[in-house]
């Protein structure tokens, strides 16, 4: 029997919650609570179209023209989004990760990212998915195993859905962000931050998504008193839904309504709520970029909670 396209499947369970983590890219294929899907994920025999549930390492979103300059050197990456001529969502999504530890409620996978021409740096990366009473927590750690400093960013790409609903248009979104990043037609930030006041992107108080088209990076995020940033997508009455949360190492959140997905039948069926430590094109702009010194480590945590 051959493995599915996403490789080995690691099934987690806690109470009524179920999650499936996959070998390919260490992504999150499915998550539900009480038999109700929380993610608009993908089936065992399907591909992760639209980067569903993927980890985005060592950069999230796009690098303009698939090239960047770091420490006085210029580097060229493979163009992985021909439509925009960009390198998108990092280097680890298609690689097989190895399992380090697993139990009924947790799994830890690891990857040694080897140097190549476009990213000649060495990273040791691990991710732990853990289910508990409060939901799913994801901890990502990266260590620079090379002898020179390296640029780094991390993100994730879960699509949240409202079970029993059709499109996301009737869902209510709460997003505690004061600004968006202005971007060009390729989705590359121009460097300007635009206040959300009196715009279609002000979701600081929960309101209906409606027909708003979102492929938008938000910043100036506000954490709760416990230091956690929380974004919520719920039914119109607020009684059902899910929240994506992140620690403050995630200074940006990309929100994508799926209007450009290749499979038209999946457009606006889920809302991608993407925690990101840096802005799109941070390898060029430096916005939120993490520079890992030799031996340096970065750890970030995010998760999803049923509401």
Number of domains making up the chain: 1
- What is the gyration radius of the CA atoms in the chain, in angstroms? 18
Separation CA 109–CA 191 (nearest Å): 35
Out of 52-56, 205-209, 238-242, least confident range: 238-242
Q: Is residue 4 part of a domain?
A: no
Nearest to 275 by CA among 232, 297, 245, 241: 245
Q: Is residue 108 part of a domain?
A: yes
Model confidence at 142: pLDDT above 70 = yes
- Give the residue-averaged pLDDT of 18-47: 96
Range of the domain at 27: 9-306
Q: What does the block give as tokens for 231? A: 């974004």
Q: Is residue 1 part of a domain?
A: no
**Percent of the chain scored above 70 by pLDDT?**
99
Separation CA 298–CA 279 (nearest Å): 17
Q: Is residue 35 part of a domain?
A: yes
What is residue 97's predicted lDDT score, i.e. its pLDDT? 98
Tokens 């990212």, located at residue: 113
Looking at every residue in the chain, the average pLDDT score rounds to: 96
Model confidence at 165: pLDDT above 70 = no
Longest dimension (CA), the chain: 56
Q: Which residues pair with 70 in a beta bridge?
A: 73
Q: Beta strand 17-22 with 36-37: parallel, antiparallel or unpaired?
A: unpaired
Flag whether the pTM goes above 0.85: yes
Nearest to 161 by CA among 237, 258, 262: 258
For the chain, counts of helices (H) and of strands (E): 1, 27
Nearest to 39 by CA among 157, 214, 215: 157
pLDDT band for 238, please (50, 70, 90 cuts): confident
- Give the residue-averaged pLDDT of 3-32: 97
Backbone angles phi, psi at 26, to 5 degrees: 55, 40
Model confidence at 132: pLDDT above 90 = yes
Model confidence at 1: pLDDT above 70 = no
Q: Is residue 3 part of a domain?
A: no
Q: Is residue 2 part of a domain?
A: no
Q: Is residue 193 part of a domain?
A: yes
Distances (CA, A) of 183 to 59, 106, 187, 217, 280: 17, 38, 5, 9, 9
Q: Is residue 227 part of a domain?
A: yes
Nearest to 80 by CA among 68, 89, 71: 89
What is residue 237's predicted lDDT score, i.e. its pLDDT? 86
Question: What CATH number corresponds to the domain at position 20?
Answer: 2.70.98.10
Separation CA 153–CA 59 (nearest Å): 4
């Amino acid at each position: 029997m051959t493995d599915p396209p996403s490789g080995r499947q690691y099934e987690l369970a806690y109470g009524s919650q179920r999650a499936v983590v996959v070998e390919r890219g260490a992504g999150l294929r499915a998550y539900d609570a009480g038999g109700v899907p929380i993610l608009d994920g993908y089936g065992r025999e399907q591909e992760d179209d639209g980067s569903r549930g993927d980890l985005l390492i060592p950069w999230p979103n796009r690098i303009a023209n698939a090239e960047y300059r770091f420490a006085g050197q210029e580097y060229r990456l493979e163009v992985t989004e021909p439509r925009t001529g960009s390198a998108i969502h990092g280097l680890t999504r298609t690689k097989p990760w190895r399992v380090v530890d697993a139990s009924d409620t947790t799994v830890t996978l690891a990857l040694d990212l080897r140097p190549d021409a476009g990213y000649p740096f060495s990273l040791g990366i691990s991710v732990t998915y853990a289910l508990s009473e409060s939901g799913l927590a994801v901890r990502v750690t990266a260590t620079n195993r090379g002898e020179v400093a390296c640029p780094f960013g991390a993100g994730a790409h879960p699509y949240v859905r409202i079970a029993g609903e059709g499109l996301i248009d009737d869902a209510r979104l709460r997003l505690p962000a004061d600004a968006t990043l202005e971007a060009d037609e390729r989705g590359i930030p121009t460097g300007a931050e635009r206040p959300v006041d009196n715009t279609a992107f002000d979701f600081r108080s929960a309101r209906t998504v409606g027909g708003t088209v979102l492929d938008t990076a938000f910043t100036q995020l506000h954490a709760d008193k416990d230091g956690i940033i929380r974004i919520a997508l719920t039914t119109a009455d607020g009684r059902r839904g899910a929240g994506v949360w992140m620690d403050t190492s995630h200074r940006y959140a990309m929100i994508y309504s799926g209007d450009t997905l290749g499979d038209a039948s999946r457009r606006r069926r889920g809302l991608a709520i993407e925690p990101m430590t840096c802005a799109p094109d941070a390898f060029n702009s430096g916005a939120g970029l993490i520079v890992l010194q030799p031996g340096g480590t970065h750890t970030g945590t995010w998760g999803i909670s049923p509401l």
